[in-house]
Structure 1
């Protein structure tokens, strides 16, 4: 009886741990309000080697955007190349 109770409790803790953790990529937008989405095109992603940040890049209104991120960490870096000639 004690073994089945411990097993059930462990299973409940495991389910709560798995459902309580979320991936930032699948989170809905929880930042500033948005009026509409202008550019839903996918980014080109460059995967960094182990231990290095990944980079995503895309064009938006003639400007090239670079976003560096590291897995599911809560930080990123953004850079913009205004009027990039490759974004025509």
Structure 2
């Protein structure tokens, strides 16, 4: 079998392109749940207490809340979506 035939050359080139595109797509997984801290450098980590998580119904945003240095921090996120919302209650009296 020779690669000099135009039909075989096209098939080999197409299969090569499919393999390269498949490997490229597989390496682009940006799952924020499986790759934590893939963001800006951090000065410290607050592992002192667990975050309270409120899971929304299917299709709705989830909510997490935690105290950090006397301030209550709320984080809203939607699965692996590329967005989130953050709110802070300064000097929250429930954060002792």
Using the size of structure 1 for normalisation, the TM-score is 0.69
Q: Greater relative contact order (Cα 8 A, min sep 6): structure 1 or 2?
A: 1
Q: 1:47-80 CA distances to partner (integer Å, 9 max, x unpaired)?
A: 2112211111111012211111112222222122
- After the TM superposition, which segments of 4 or more aligned residues of structure 1 sit over 3 Å from their partners? 1-8
Q: Which runs of 5+ in 2 are unaligned?
A: 1-7
- RMSD of the TM alignment (CA)? 2.5
Q: Secondary structure at the match of 1:77?
A: strand
**Map of 2:61 onto structure 1:** 53
Number of residue pairs matched by the alignment: 85
Q: Structure 2 residue aligned with 1:83, among 64, 79, 91?
A: 91
Distance 1:23 1:10 in 2: 23
Greater Rg over alpha carbons, structure: 2
**Map of 1:24 onto structure 2:** 32
Using the size of structure 2 for normalisation, the TM-score is 0.65
